[in-house]
Structure 1
Amino acid sequence: MTKKRAWTIFRIIVPTILSLFLLTILLEHTSFLTLFTGICIFLFAMTLLQESFKILSGGILDQFLDKVANTNFKSFIFAFVLTTFVQSSGLVSVIAISFLSASLITLSSGVAMIYGVNLSTALSAWIMSFFGVKSQISLYAMPLIVFGVLFFINKHKKVKGLGLFLLSLGFLFLGISYMKEGFENFKESIDISQFQMQGFLGLIVYVLIGFFITTLTQSSHATLTLAIVALNAGEISYENSIAIVIGANVGSTIMTVIGSLNSNIEGKKLTATHVFFNIAVALLAIVFFKYYLWMTEVGAELVGIASDDLVLKLSLFATIFNIIGVVIFYPFISQMCTFLNKIIKVNPRKSHIEQPVYLTESALEFSDSALEVLYLESKHLFKNTTNLVSRAISLNSGDIYTEENVDELISRRNRPIEMNFDEEYQNKFKGIYSNILEFAVDASALSDDSEISAEFMDLRRANLFMATAIKSAQTLQINIIKYAFSTNEVIKNEYDGIRKNLLRTLRLAQALIEAQDNEGVKELIEELNYNVKKYDSISSSSLDSHIRYNRITDTIASSIMNDMALAKSIANDLTHSSEILVYHMNDKLGDSSQKLIDEEIHKD
C-alpha cells in the first residue's frame, strides 16, 4: 500500500470514528446535544445576519444606522438602549460585529457600541435588584422567525432582506436559548456558598466563579441574578458577590468570541476590543478593590441606600464599575482604533486580499513623493478595476490587453463566467481603495502647497469614480449572466452590444493611462468620449418593434434599457478616472491636451 493511499484512508477513517464517538456522546448526554445545537444555530444565524446586511445595505438599514450610529456618542447610546431592551450584552455585541463586518458602521462606532453594551449591564443590575426578574429573549424567537419567513418569501429585494434580518435575529435568540438550556443542569447544581472565603484569595476565586457561570449560562444578566439571589439569601458575602460581578463582566465576552468566528478581520478587531476592555476593567477593579468599595459606600450614602441593603449596594457597585471603565476608555476610541489596525492585520501569506504596493509611511515626509506613490497606487487600482468590470461582463481580464477584433472576441466568449463578486471586491479592490483614501487625506493635511493639495483631492476623485464603476458593474453582472447568453437572439444581440461597448471602453481607458505622447492622449480621450456617446444614440424604437412583434417582453425591454444606463455609467466613470490619472501622469503634455482633459474632468 502506498503512503498516499494510506494517508487517504487515514483521512477518511479517523474523522468518521471521531464523528461517531461525538454522536454517541451527544445522544447519551442531552445537555451536550442541546448545547452544541445552540452553538450551531447561533453560528448559522450570524451568517444569515451578515447576508441580510448585504441585502439591506444601500437602503433603509444604511439610513437608519446613519441616524443612530453616525457618531461615536450616538453609537454608544444606541447600543446602551438596545442591550437594555433585549437583556443580552453578548447578542448586541455580535450584532455590532455583524454591522462592522458588513461595512455598515465604522470601527470607531463599533468600539463605542461595545462600551455602550457594557454600561447597560449596570442598568440591568438595578432592574434585577428592584424586580428580581429578567427578560427571556427566547420569547422573541418564535414571532421573529414567523415574520422573518413571511417577509423572506416576498419577491421585493428589500422586504426579503428585512425578512432575512428578522429570521437571523430569531435564530440568534433561539441559539442562545438552546445554549442556556444545555447548561441548565450545570447551573442548578452550582452551590457557590461552598467556596466562601475572605481576602484576596476569596476575591480571585469568586471572580473565576463569575466568569465560569457566565460562560456556561451565556448571560451576564443570569450571573448577576444568581449573585443577587445568593447575597439576598445570605449564602455569600457582599465582597464575594462583587467579585462575581467582576468575573461575569469578563465571561460575557465568550459569546462575542463565538460570534466572531464567521466574521472578517474588522469583526475580529471589535471582538478584541470587547475582550481587552472587559479584562482591563476587571483588572482595575481587582487591583483597586478597596477603593471601589469605598466609592460604593460613598455613593450609597449620597443616593440614600441603607447600609444594610447589600443588594442595592451591589447594583451600585456594578454601575460604578462600568462607568469607570467607560470614562477611562471612551475618550481614547480613536487611539484604540489605531492600535487595533496596527496589531490586527490580515496575514498576506494566508489571505487573497491584495495590499497596497506603493504606499509607505516614509513617502508622506515629502509632498512630491506622496503624490507620486499615490498616483502609482491609483494606477494599480485602476487595473484591478478594469479587470473586475471585464469579469462582471463575462470576459477574461486578458481580453482588455489583446488586439483581437471586438466582435470576434465577444462571439467567442459565449458562456457566462460565474464569480463571487463580493469576494473579488474584498480581495482586489476594497483594501487598496481604503488605504488610498486614507493616505490621500493624510498627505493633503501635511502639505502646505495648495496646488499639490488640490492634486491629492483630484486623485481621490479618480478613485471614487472607480468605486462607483465597480458598484454599477456588480449590479450589471446579474443580468449579464441571466440574459447575455439567452437562446433568444434578440436579447443576446442587445447584451452583446453592451458587452462590446464596455470592452472598447476598458481597452481605451487602459491605453489612455499608459499613453506617453501628446497626440496619443488627445486621440484616446476623443475616442473614449465618442464611445460613451454611443449609448445615447441607441434608440428605443428598435426595442418597441421587438415588443410589438413579441420578440421580447416589455419586462425584458425594461431590463435592457436599465442595463444600457448602467453600462453608460460605468463607461463615464472609467473615462473620468483615466482622464484624471493621465492628467497627473505626464507633465510633458501639450497645452491642447491639457485643456481637453481639464474640460472633460470638470464638465460634470
Structure 2
Amino acid sequence: MADWQQLNLIGFITGIGIFLFGMLQLEKAIARLSGNGFQQFLRDQTRNPLIAITAGTLITAIMQSSSMVSLVVLAFSGAGVIPLYNGIGIIMGANLGTTFTGWVVTTLGFKIELSAFALPIVGGGSLLMVLLSERKRFAAWGRLFVGLGMLLFGLSEMKGSVEQLATSLDLSALAGFHPLIYLGAGVIFTAVIQSSSATMMITLSALHVGILQLEGAAALIIGADLGTTSTMILGGFKGSAVKKQLAAAQILFNFCSALLAFLLLQPLLGIVTSLISAEQTLYRLVAFHSLFNLLGIVLFVPFLKPFAKLMERLFATEVPSLPRFISNVPANLSSAALIALNKEAARLADRIYLFNLRNLKIDPEHLRCPQERLEQLLGTQPGNLPFEQRYNQIKRREGDMLRYAM
C-alpha cells in the first residue's frame, strides 16, 4: 500500500484536470480562429466517401476535437447537405485524426522538460487575452496559447507523479495481467473521464517509465477507443433519426475496430515492432493506435453505402414532403430558380415562426393579422405533429434549399 502512495494522487488528478481543461481551451480557440472555414470545407469537400474520410482525418488532426467534428457532421447530415454514408466516412476519419495527438506528444512531450516553458506559454497567452480582449482574433490566439500551455503543464504533472510511482513499485506485479484486463480498464477509465487523448497521455507516461509493457498498453488504448462511445450511447439515441443513425454507426464501427484490433493484437504488434526499434517504445504504441484505426477504415470503406442503408433501415426517418416551390423549378433556370428560392425561403420563415409560437404555447389564432395571412401561416405545418418531427422538417427544408442554391 505504501508503494501506491508514492503515486502522489493529488498531483496525478491535478494533472488530468489541467490537461483536460487545456484541451477544452485549445478546442474553443481553434474553433474561434477557424470560424466557418472548416464547416465550409466539410460541406464542399465531402462529395465521395474517400474524400470524406480524408477530410475527417485532417480536420480532426488540426482541430484536436473529434466531438466538434461529429457535431458539425450531425448538423449537415440532419439538414441533408451531407449524405449519411459520407457523414459516417467523416466520423471514421475523425477516429484516425485523434491519433495525431499521440504522435505530437511522443515527439515533443517525452524528449524535453515540459514544465520549463509551459507556464510562460500560459502567461503570454493570458496577457493576450486580457490586454487585447476587445480584439477577438488576438484574444483567441491568447486562449490557444493558454490551452497549449495548460495541456503541456498537465502532461508534465502526470508524468512526474507516475515517475514517482515507478521508482518504488515492484513492476513484476503488473506483468501477469491478461490483455483483456487492460482492455476493460481502458474502456472504464475513458468512459469516466470522457477523453481518449487523456487516456493515451497517461498510458504513454506509464509505458515511458516501465510501469506498463507494450502489450498491456496497446490493449488499454484499444479499450480507450471503445470507451469514447459512452457519450454516444448515453446521448445519441434521444434525438432525430439521423442522429440515431450516426450514433449507431460510430458505436458499431468503434466496436468492430476494437474487436479486430484485440483479436489481431499480436500480429499488429509484430508489424510495428519489426518497423520501429526497441528504443522507440512510445512510437510503437502510437503507431499501433494509428494502424488499427486505419485497418478498421480500410475494411469498412467497401461496405460504407450498404452500412449506411442498414442504419437507415434500423432507424427509419419519417417520409419527407417535397418543397412546394423549388421542387418544380430546375436550378439551371436562374431567374425562375431565384424567384422559387425566395418563395421557399419566405415559406420556411413562416414555418419557423409558427414553430416558435407553438413552442412558446402561443395560439396562432390570437395573432392580430388578416385571416388570409393567418391561413397561409397555419398551412405551412400541421399543428398535430410532435415537436421532433416539426423540427426535423425545418432542418430538412433548409438542406433542400442549400443543395438547390449550390
Instruction: Give TM-score, length-normalised by structure 2.
Output: 0.59
Corresponding residue pairs, total? 307
Question: What is the root-mean-square deviation of aligned Cα atoms in Å?
Answer: 5.4
8 Å contact 1:238–1:314 — kept in the other structure?
Answer: yes
8 Å contact 1:231–1:311 — kept in the other structure?
Answer: yes
Letter aligned with residue 253 of structure 1 = T
1:322 to 2:300 alignment:
no
8 Å contact 2:49–2:85 — kept in the other structure?
Answer: yes
Structure 1 residues 226-247: Cα deviation after superposition (integer angstroms, max 9, x where no partner): 1111011000111100101111
Structure 1 residues 399-424: Cα deviation after superposition (integer angstroms, max 9, x where no partner): xxxxxxxxxxxxxxxxxxxxxxxxxx
Residue 88 of structure 2 is matched in structure 1 by 111
Aligned equivalents of 1:116 and 1:70: distance in 2?
15
1:278 to 2:254 alignment:
yes
Match runs of 1:11-410 below 5 Å: 64-132=41-109, 196-198=174-176, 202-258=178-234, 260=236, 263-298=239-274, 300=275, 305-345=276-316, 355=319
Flag the 1:82–1:60 CA change in 2: closer, same or farther, 3 A.
closer
Letter aligned with residue 82 of structure 1 = I
Aligned equivalents of 1:195 and 1:248: distance in 2?
23
Aligned equivalents of 2:298 and 2:85: distance in 1?
16
Residue 474 of structure 1 is matched in structure 2 by 348
Letter aligned with residue 98 of structure 1 = A
Flag the 1:261–1:310 CA change in 2: closer, same or farther, 3 A.
same
Flag the 1:97–1:196 CA change in 2: closer, same or farther, 3 A.
farther
Helix, strand or coil at the partner of 1:99: helix
Instruction: Give TM-score, length-normalised by structure 1.
Output: 0.41
- Give 1:62 deviation, angstroms: 7.9
8 Å contact 1:211–1:248 — kept in the other structure?
Answer: yes
Aligned equivalents of 2:173 and 2:321: distance in 1?
55
Flag the 1:80–1:478 CA change in 2: closer, same or farther, 3 A.
closer
Helix, strand or coil at the partner of 2:99: helix
Flag the 1:486–1:114 CA change in 2: closer, same or farther, 3 A.
closer
Letter aligned with residue 174 of structure 2 = Q
8 Å contact 2:39–2:72 — kept in the other structure?
Answer: no
- Give 1:253 deviation, angstroms: 1.6
- Give 1:65 deviation, angstroms: 4.1
Helix, strand or coil at the partner of 2:301: helix
8 Å contact 1:227–1:241 — kept in the other structure?
Answer: yes
Structure 1 residues 156-190: Cα deviation after superposition (integer angstroms, max 9, x where no partner): xxxxxxxxxx9xxx9xx9xxx9xx9xxx9xx99x9
Helix, strand or coil at the partner of 1:70: coil
Flag the 1:82–1:462 CA change in 2: closer, same or farther, 3 A.
closer
Which piece of structure 1 moves more, 81-90 or 244-253? 81-90
Letter aligned with residue 349 of structure 2 = T
Flag the 1:131–1:432 CA change in 2: closer, same or farther, 3 A.
same
Letter aligned with residue 280 of structure 2 = D
Aligned equivalents of 1:215 and 1:107: distance in 2?
26
Greater RCO (Cα-Cα under 8 Å, separation 6 or more): 2
Residue 402 of structure 1 is matched in structure 2 by none
Aligned equivalents of 1:197 and 1:474: distance in 2?
63
Aligned equivalents of 1:117 and 1:110: distance in 2?
11
Aligned equivalents of 1:343 and 1:232: distance in 2?
44
Aligned equivalents of 1:254 and 1:233: distance in 2?
30
8 Å contact 1:87–1:221 — kept in the other structure?
Answer: no
- What fraction of aligned residue pairs are identical, expressed as a percent? 22
Aligned equivalents of 1:102 and 1:94: distance in 2?
12
- Give 1:63 deviation, angstroms: 5.5
Aligned equivalents of 1:86 and 1:281: distance in 2?
23
Helix, strand or coil at the partner of 1:206: helix
Structure 1 residues 357-400: Cα deviation after superposition (integer angstroms, max 9, x where no partner): xxxxxxxxxxxxxxxxxxxxxxxxxxxxxxxxxxxxxxxxxxxx
Residue 17 of structure 1 is matched in structure 2 by none
In structure 2, runs of 5+ residues without a counterpart are 1-12, 25-30, 332-336, 358-364, 380-406
In structure 1, runs of 5+ residues without a counterpart are 1-30, 43-48, 50-55, 152-165, 347-352, 356-430, 435-459, 507-604
8 Å contact 1:101–1:267 — kept in the other structure?
Answer: yes
Letter aligned with residue 309 of structure 1 = Q
Flag the 1:479–1:296 CA change in 2: closer, same or farther, 3 A.
closer
Flag the 1:286–1:478 CA change in 2: closer, same or farther, 3 A.
closer
Name which one, 1 or 2, has greater alpha-carbon Rg.
1
Aligned equivalents of 1:65 and 1:317: distance in 2?
28
- Give 1:342 deviation, angstroms: 1.0
Letter aligned with residue 46 of structure 2 = A
8 Å contact 2:238–2:244 — kept in the other structure?
Answer: no
- Give 1:322 deviation, angstroms: 1.1
Aligned equivalents of 1:234 and 1:325: distance in 2?
29
Letter aligned with residue 310 of structure 2 = F
Flag the 1:65–1:307 CA change in 2: closer, same or farther, 3 A.
closer
Helix, strand or coil at the partner of 2:266: helix
Flag the 1:150–1:240 CA change in 2: closer, same or farther, 3 A.
same
8 Å contact 2:38–2:59 — kept in the other structure?
Answer: no
8 Å contact 1:80–1:116 — kept in the other structure?
Answer: yes
Letter aligned with residue 252 of structure 2 = F
- Give 1:331 deviation, angstroms: 2.3
- Give 1:310 deviation, angstroms: 1.3
Aligned equivalents of 1:150 and 1:66: distance in 2?
29
Letter aligned with residue 293 of structure 1 = L
Aligned equivalents of 2:250 and 2:96: distance in 1?
12
Aligned equivalents of 1:471 and 1:479: distance in 2?
12
Helix, strand or coil at the partner of 1:235: coil
